[in-house]
Structure 1
Amino acid sequence: MKLDLSGHVAIVTGAGAGLGRAHALALAAQGASVLVNDLHMEAAAEVRDAIIEGGGQALAVAANVADFDEVEAMVAAAVDKWGKVDILVNNAGILRDRTFAKMDLADFRLVLDVHLMGSVNCTKAVWDGMRDRGYGRILFTTSSSGLYGNFGQSNYGAAKMALVGLMQTLALEGERYNIHVNCLAPSAATAMTNGLYSAEALEELGPELVSPAVVALSAPSAPTRMVLLAGAGCFEQAHVTMTRGVHFAGGPADPVLLASALRSIGDRDGEMVPANGGHQYQYEIERALPAQPARVAAG
């Protein structure tokens, strides 16, 4: 069975090697025409040629995703060749790992520029066209380092979690235009993971084992607002949840009582996945009106 992407046009950033290369080849194998982006033209051209040799359609464009002018030119190249962009896979990234105490702020800013603003730039450049056509599939590459933290990756983690927040809002704004926006948190052996894992572990972390997730989230049947984790042939979903918490009635909470209730507040029994940011406000207002008779009501 194929998830037929014939007639669909995809852009994959950072596709000259590693995950991006695997994603571009996987999309092309399902029939998509693929613009292969990389900072280096030689790397992008090699992947383009591999797709064409396999019978697919591809275009190579060297562009820095952190430069909006270059991104606009890249998107224009895809539109000039194929008339549209249906799929955007924001994959380009870099690492500048150090503990926060030792990190130069220039390296913090650089990682944000490439991962976060690079994804913003690419998404902005395709957004109006997708809205006009009433169709789009956009994928952001987040990370478990953003979702759960990782020593020495404050810059990378901040950028990656910011992409989850961006996805949450763009999925809401794109819904009426049939633009589905999702996040992928991959585990794969790439140049960015050299030296981090054993040789045995790296053998199980081939980038090609992640790319089926990209195809599934790029298909017409794709969901929206999903954070999909993928690696070593395994797939999981992450959620940003809200616990039921506790309610303090009768005015501002006593900080001492609040401190003693933090464990109860963190109880995950009955936790929720809010539909949007307003869910928190609505939930709290509904609990506060009418005011509870007890000083503290749990659950």
Structure 2
Amino acid sequence: MTASNGRVAVVTGAGRGLGRAHALALAAEGVRVVVNDLGVGPDGEGGGPGPAECTAAEIRARGGQAVAHPGDVATPDGAASLVTTALETFGRLDALVNNAGFLRDRMLVNLGEDDWDAVVRVHLKGHFLPLRHAAAHWRAETKAGRPPAARVVNTTSGAGLLGSVGQAGYAAAKAGIAALTLVAAAELAPYGVLVNAVAPAARTRMTETVFAAGMAPPDRPDTFDAMAPENVSPLVVWLASAASRGVTGRVFEAEGGRITVMEGWHHGPTEDRAARRTPTEAGDAALRLLTRARPEEPVYGSR
């Protein structure tokens, strides 16, 4: 258990899947939750307030406190109102869980510009804008002498960390989220804000065909369902809590009962001759360095 101490969290994309699981898990720990969801389909089409309202109502039915926010967090007004809703409803904001997203998978040569723009917008801009508005609030609190113990949990993906065939737009956006996490962690540390990311693997509307095999057998419902989204939520709850003190700028992979600290770009083998090389000399140096470098992990779907 993590002591909530009256904390308030915003969870985007919380009407279904991972976001819903996170919202319910936070509420179970006594956290008051702003449940955001635009209500769109798995490809971003359609929309409506129903999913956000349903999750908020489910939390209230279990004795928790929640309010629905059906706005578009990839717009300045939607992101700003997300923070305003938390402050006007519960009087504070302690944690932001960025989770909203959808898929439009295509092989690169078939990927349309509109699909690319839509996916990058919801994932990357949909992380940036809520983070920007929440950070502005926390900075103001710090300057007013009320430093917060604030937390941000972003949602990246193995596709963004290692690549994934057929998911160029999604992978690019998720890689951007990983980099955004590092920058935000460094920039917001003076204001008491810790920023981390999770790369979950779970069965949701976007992945139900991929992870269907991970379901618990119907004749043994007590069997551990490794692909249930609820398996990811305990890590998210901890990262969003005051108990995660000192942990920032990290990316964790979470799947079933497994948690992995991901290690991103590091300086590897290097040569410096303090002089300009010819192309041939540069190529020879690159090949020598590659023999000393750690082998890269394969792109998902490439083998």
Displacement after TM superposition at 1:195 (Å): 1.8
More displaced 10-residue stretch of structure 1: 14-23 or 244-253: 244-253
Q: In structure 1, how many angstroms separate the alpha carbons of the residues matched to 2:268 and 2:255?
A: 32
Equivalent residues of 1:37, 1:44 under 8 A apart: yes
Give, as a single letter, the amino acid of the residue that structure 1 aligns with 2:231.
L
Q: CA deviation at 1:187?
A: 0.3
Identical amino acids, percent of aligned pairs: 36
The CA distance in 1 between the partners of 2:264 and 2:214, in whole Å, is 32
Distance 1:9 1:113 in 2: 26
1:213 aligns with 2:235: yes
Give yes or no for the alignment of 1:12 onto 2:14.
Answer: no
Which of the residues 238, 245, 249 maps onto 2:273? 249
* Farther-moved stretch of structure 1 (244-253 vs 12-21): 244-253
> Aligned AA for 2:33?
V
CA RMSD, aligned part only? Answer: 1.6
Amino acid at match of 2:177: L
Q: Distance in 2 between matches of 1:251 and 1:97?
A: 45
Check conservation: 1:6, 1:30, Cα contact below 8 A: no
Shift of 1:61: 1.1
Q: How far 1:110 moved relative to its partner?
A: 0.4
Distance apart, 1:263 and its partner CA: 4.4
Q: Which moved more, 1:242-251 or 1:47-56?
A: 242-251
TM superposition score normalised by structure 2: 0.84
Contact in 2 for aligned 1:243/1:265 (Cα 8 Å): no
Q: Find the aligned partners of 1:177 and 1:199 in 2 and give their Cα distance.
A: 44
Contact 2:101 2:122 in 1 (8 A): yes
| Secondary structure of 1:167's aligned partner | helix
How many residues get paired? 268
Equivalents in 1 of 2:230, 2:53: separation in Å?
19
> Is residue 2:187 matched to residue 1:173?
yes
Residues 117-137 of structure 1: CA distance to partner in whole angstroms, max 9, x if unpaired? 011111112111112332220
State the TM-score, normalized to the length of structure 1: 0.85
Checking the alignment, whether the CA contact within 8 Å between 2:52 and 2:68 is kept in structure 1 is yes
Return the index of the structure with the highest Cα Rg. 1
Shift in Å at residue 100 of structure 1? 0.8
Structure 2 segments unaligned to the other structure (5+ residues): 40-48, 142-146, 217-224, 295-303
Q: Distance in 2 between matches of 1:139 and 1:23?
A: 11
- The DSSP-based 3-state class of the residue aligned with 2:271 is strand
- How do residues 194-205 of structure 1 correspond to structure 2 at under 5 angstroms? 194-200=208-214, 203-205=225-227
Residue 39 of structure 1 corresponds to which residue in structure 2?
Answer: 38
